[in-house]
Amino acid sequence: MAEGAVSANRLELLQIADAVAREKSIDKSVVITAMEEAIQRAAKARYGAENEIRAEIDPKTGEMRLNRLLLVVDKVEDEAKQISLAEAMRRNPAATIGDSILEPLPPVDFGRIAATNAKQVIVQKVRDAERERMYEEYKDRISDIVHGSVKRVEYGNVIVDLGRGEAIVRRDETLPRETFRPGDRIRAYVYDVRREQRGPQIFLSRTHPEFMAKLFGQEVPEIYDGVVEVVSVARDPGSRAKIAVRSKDGSIDPVGACVGMRGSRVQAVVNELQGEKIDIIPWSPDPATFVVNALAPAEVAKVVMDEEQRRIEVVVPDDQLSLAIGRRGQNVRLASQLTGWDIDILTEAEESERRTEEFRSRSQMFIDALDIDDVIAHLLVTEGFSSLEEVAYVSPEDLADIEGFDADVAGELRERARVSLDRRDREYEERRRELGVSDELASFERLTPGMLVALGESQITTLDDFAGLAGDELVELLDASDKGGVKLDLEEANALIMQARAHWYEDEGKPATKSGEE
């Protein structure tokens, strides 16, 4: 009878382990390890915490064994954890000092408190294993779309039941005016999975640009197969979006593939995103073409690019201005995000007015500096000359080629430009000294007298002041000034700053000297 009861208990132990493992989707061995730890804890309460106790459950038979771990020593100082060599050899003739011997213990009769403690240990261990399993499963699913049902909504945050774990869509990651109730089905993008104190947290988003890209991947077979590629996405969540696509197969129209028959494919994405309007843009390797496409539905008359600053100036007909900018600047903002270029929009009238003003101011600068009449000044500006430096150092042949000029006129203009530059540089040199800009900075070949004055007016007067600048700060500071003459690019600016910092490293390399030493 007793043996039958023991067999039943063994069987019950394995059945419990099986049931918990299945329910929590974790390995059965993890549950058995948790049970062993719980039994060890209960046995320590029964036999004394000073004992080193090991519990083992046979995963096949369910048989449980309790042993006390004893260290073989020459002289016993702690009977709970040590055993003498002579005693150990009686149990195992091969025992030597430093070995560990397992001493069998009678099974523990679980009391109510011990059983409760054991249950807590098992629950905690199982919960830890469940969390680890969830983290391992979802950490590789970052950038995937997952489906789930809404479990509850807390302060605008949506808690989602994914079946084998919980996730959260924070309030700022849901679409505007979007409401969820418990039980609603939800699709969202996994953008982060983190281990936190309360367990792994899975963060979902419905506003992330990649969510839209993935939705198109689900709706458009050509994207799923890799024939059509989503290059970039820009979204104003819940309102408007632009998506740039390109085809790797010349016979397939990427925009048509994404729109689908009668707009069925794009409409499926629009419906999922609560009516968000989507512009599908053909990507182009030419930035100007790409920007023009991205500003659709507005028409563009002309573009002027500044590749160094990644800035593009777009000229549109007067009646297209509001369409190009969009409500509250939405259209141009999304086009800028999509292309990665800063976009400035001008009407044809504004551009014409600005060019007229530029033409007038440059002509006046040449009239004043070179003491010439307005006809010659206009000819210089029309031919693309914009600074005294260009006139002073251009080849005489290039100047003489201008209609109405000859070699004598070209030579005279070059000479007057150089004289004017020398006079201007002397004035700048005096101003530089007044501002207190150091001679060390003035010795930098690439820094013109005008640049030095611009630095002084911005309180950059010493080598250390200059060394403390970042390259883009220096470029911006000189670009904002009309005194620089020639411009610095970012690479030149960084080289100059590193030159100014050289003395820092030299000072670091010098050995420290005692006070008074030369």
Are 65 and 154 in the same domain? no
Claim to verify: residue 148 and residue 126 sit in the same structural domain: no
List the domain range (segments joined by +) for residue 508. Answer: 436-518
Are both 126 and 149 inside the same structural domain? no
> At 484, phi and psi to the nearest 5?
-65, -30
Average pLDDT for 110-119: 54
- Could you tell me if 193 and 74 lie in one domain? no
User: Is 352 domain-assigned?
Assistant: no
Residue 310 confidence (pLDDT): 85
Convert the pLDDT of each residue in 287-324 to its tens digit: 999 999 999 888 888 888 888 778 898 888 888 888 88
CA-to-CA dists, residue 197 to 128, 160, 200, angstroms: 11, 19, 8
Q: Which helix (H) or strand (E) holds 314?
A: strand 311-316
Residues 13 and 112 in one domain: yes
pLDDT band at 451 (very low <50, low <70, confident <90, very high): confident
Distance (Å, rounded) from C-alpha 91 to C-alpha 99? Answer: 13
Q: For residue 160, is it within any domain?
A: yes
Average pLDDT value for residue range 401-409: 76
Q: Mind listing the pLDDT tens digit for each residue in 24-61? A: 666 777 777 777 777 777 777 677 767 777 777 777 77
153 and 124 together in one domain: no
* Residue 129 to residue 268: CA distance in whole angstroms: 39
Q: Do 115 and 199 fall into the same domain?
A: no
> Are residue 124 and residue 154 in the same domain, yes or no?
no
Counting residues of the chain whose pLDDT is more than 70, the rounded percentage is 86
The whole-number pLDDT of residue 229 equals 92
| 47 vs 80: CA distance, rounded Å | 10
Instruction: Write down the H helix ranges in 275-387.
Output: 287-294, 321-325, 330-339, 348-370, 374-382
Contacts by residues 156-162 (CB-CB < 8 Å, ≥ 24 positions apart): 158/186, 160/186, 160/188, 160/204, 162/202
Per-residue pLDDT of 83-107, as tens digits, reads: 777 777 777 777 777 777 777 777 6
pLDDT at 8: 39
Alpha carbon distance 339, 35 (integer Å): 58
CA distance 122 to 370: 93
Give CA–CA dist 201/194, Å, rounded.
5
DSSP tag of 144: -
Average pLDDT (485-508) is: 76
User: What is the distance between the alpha carbons of residues 151 and 142, in angstroms, rounded to a whole number?
Assistant: 21
In a domain, 502, yes or no: yes
Judge whether residue 516 has pLDDT over 60.
no
Instruction: For 347, list phi and psi in degrees, rounded to 5.
Output: -85, 165
Q: If we measure between CA atoms, which residue out of 444, 391, 446, 450 comes closest to residue 424?
A: 450
Q: Are residues 166 and 120 in the same domain?
A: no
